[in-house]
Structures are given as structure tokens and as C-alpha cells.
Amino acid sequence: MLSRKILHVRSSRSLAGPERHLLELLPGLGAHGFATEVALLYRRQPGDPEEHPLLARLAEAGIAGSQIPDPGRMGLAARRALGARLRRGDLAALHGHDPKSDWVIGGAVRASGRDLPGGPIRRLATLHLYTRATLALRLHRRIDLRLLRSFDGVIAVTAGLAAELEQSVERRAVAGGRRRVARRVIPNGIDAADLRARSAADLPAVRAALAARSDQQGEGRAPLLIAGGRLTRQKGLDLLLEALPAAVARHPGLVLWIAGEGPERPALAAQAARLGLASRVRFLGERGDLAALFSAADAFVLPSRSEGSPYVLLEAMALGLPVVAAAVGGVTTMLADGDRGLLVRAGEPRELAGALLRLLENPDDARRQAEAARQAIAGPLSAACMVEATAAFYAEVLG
């Protein structure tokens, strides 16, 4: 019998959207007959922990994980390590989750040969997000799209990413390529019951901290907004800060919590001070209790310049938190063109400010949209739907 074990490969330093995707996806695949492992290409930098933080989370979920040091740009050491893993002969497929992992998978399979003791190795990938913030990232996107023309199957988490892949595959076909690449759009999904349980466990401590903040600042029940994610330009938090004074003018007690870390934090803190918002904006750093923070807040704001199918938005929706978000990537579909939350054009602080005021001043509409979002999490945006669709795709590609 041919193996149905799939090794997922991810190159990263921390817990981000693709890591959360793996934690939501992999535990459910066993019920569909697919065994899974994870190989982490750890780009460890000074100050990073010895062990990638995803390994402990995988162990809690009962998923086997391993760590491969990956200090070089070309991933040569990672290719050798992955090739050695292939030669054990128990894998049906390698599944990459970023351009670097796709590159390493391609090289490892070429070096080892596709026909190994356990049968032919399939090459799979999931497109989570392409960013174009730098020349290097734009180059990575072009290389990855060309490489994926030779893969056996590719999942895209949004229709936009699928369209980018389709254009690349069609160019290959026009040029005379004969290889068929199976393609599928499968949005990210989330286990709402697990999320709510974690939120309930952490909520008392969060509420105590919130009460202490209100007492210290002499506030009543002032509006509390929350934003979260890695603090990079892509996340658009500078745009949110630019929009905030207009909302504070109408709601003087308003407070914004920003959860996460990243290279833009010093610039964002300086911007908040420059705008007179230092007492209104609190930088929380990395938090393990984000779900409880959401439950304590009045609204979630996602001002990103680009997104795929963001898990931070899925969390807010699952917890029934009203949302204001930039209409980028898969966000528009996730919010059903505005039926599940307020959508604004990306890069427009004035429009964002107006949407914040509409949300705060029309609570009945906000609650209606939040309930529609919560219902979507119970259906098409659930982890169960994502697992079922992925298992069906694996069955198609692996035969």
C-alpha cells in the first residue's frame, strides 16, 4: 500500500498565520486517512529561542515536528536534511507553506529522484500571501510562481492568489509546457469552540487588567479598539493611528490596544506620541491570550495594506467582535462584501476614521454584522470545512 503520510515544510522564526493554519489543519487530517509531520526550517537569529515555538504547540496537538537549522539564503543545508528524510521512504508528499520551503522541496526532490522506496513523491504547496514590500520579496514571488508550475498540486487561500497562479500556469502552457498542476481555493478555517474555551480561561485576568486601566485613568466604560499582528508596514497600523484622532475627538475616552511585535514598533510609538495619542494607544507586545483580549474589546480593526486569509480576523469573527477592515486579499470575501463587517479602501485613513465612527455610533448594526460573521465561522470558515476540502484535494492529487 502506498504511503499517505505528508510532510509539511515551513520556513520561519515565529508563530504567524501559516503556523496557525497548520495547527488548525493537521489534527483533523488523520480522520481522513492522512498522517502528517512538520519540518520547520528555523531561521534562528540572535535572541530567538533555541527551539522554534511551533514545536511545543505541535506536540500538544499530537503532531510530530522536527527542526532543521536554516541559516543560509539558498537553503542548501535544509535541502540535504530534507533529502535524507525523503530517503526513509515513508512519505507520499512534501507540502510547502512559503517560497523558501517550496524552493527547498524542489531541490530536495530533484536531488533524491522522484521515485523513492515508498513510491513517487508528490510536491504540494499552499499560497498564503505574497507581499511586494521590497525588491527581494517581489523576486521571491516571481521565482515561486515559476517553480510551482512543476508542482503536482497547489492550494490558494484566496481567489486572488489562485488567479496569480493561474496566470503563471497559463504562461507555461502557452510556452509548450505539458505538466498539469492541480489547483484549489481553500480558505483558512478556525475551530471556534477551541478558541472560545481559551478565551474563557484567560478572560478574568484580562478583565482585571482592563478594570485597573479604567480606574487609573478615571474612565467609565470607554470604547476599546484592538488591532493585532506582526508590526510591519504591511499591517497598516500607521494608517490606523492617522485615523484615530477623528474618532477620539468624538469619543474622548477611546483606547486602542495593539497586540504584537515587529520592526515598526518604535516608529508607531513615535507616531502615536506625535499625534497626541500616547495615553490612548497601548502596545501590548506578543500575547498568548489574544482571544481573551478580543472578548474584552468593543471592536477589531484590520487596516492592512495586503492580506491573504488572516487568522487574526477569523478569531475576531469567531468571538462575535465587530470588525472594521481594509478590503484587501481574502478579507472582502471573508466579510461577505461588508455584510459581516465594515470594509474600507486600503490606504485611506479618512475613510477608516469614518468607518470607526459608524461602528461606534451604530451598535445595533455592528452587532448584526458581528453575528453574521460568527455564523460564517460555524460554516464555510470553520476548521472542519478546511480539513475536509484539503483531504479531498490530497485524495485527488495522490490518487
Using one digit for the tens of pLDDT, what is the confidence trace for 123-156?
999 999 998 778 888 888 999 999 999 999 999 9
Spatial neighbors of 79 by CB under 8 A, at least 6 apart, are 104, 107, 108, 111
Are 391 and 353 part of one and the same domain? no
CATH code, domain carrying 198: 3.40.50.2000
Same domain, 219 and 182: no
8 A C-beta contact, residue 293 and residue 259:
yes
Cβ atoms within 10 Å of 21's Cβ, excluding its own: 24
Confidence of residue 282 (pLDDT cuts 50, 70, 90): very high
Regarding whether 284 and 207 lie in a shared domain, the answer is yes
Rounded (5°) CA angle 39-41-45: 145
Is residue 85 located within the same domain as residue 170?
A: yes
23 and 156 part of one domain: yes
Backbone angles phi, psi at 209, to 5 degrees: -65, -40
Amino acid identity for residue 20 in this structure = R
Q: What confidence tens digit (pLDDT) does each residue in 287-335 have?
A: 877 888 888 899 999 999 999 999 999 999 999 999 999 999 999 999 9
Dist CA 203 CA 290 (whole Å): 10
CA 260, CA 230: separation in Å to the nearest integer? 5
Closest CA relative to residue 306, chosen from 199, 206, 160: 160
- Full residue range of the structural domain in which residue 303 is found: 192-378
Q: Are strands 122-127 and 93-96 parallel, antiparallel or unpaired?
A: parallel
The number of distinct structural domains making up the chain is 2
Residues 35 and 160 in one domain: yes
Phi, psi of 62, rounded to the nearest 5 degrees: 80, 25
Query: Do 223 and 291 have their domain in common?
Result: yes
> Does residue 234 carry a pLDDT above 90?
yes
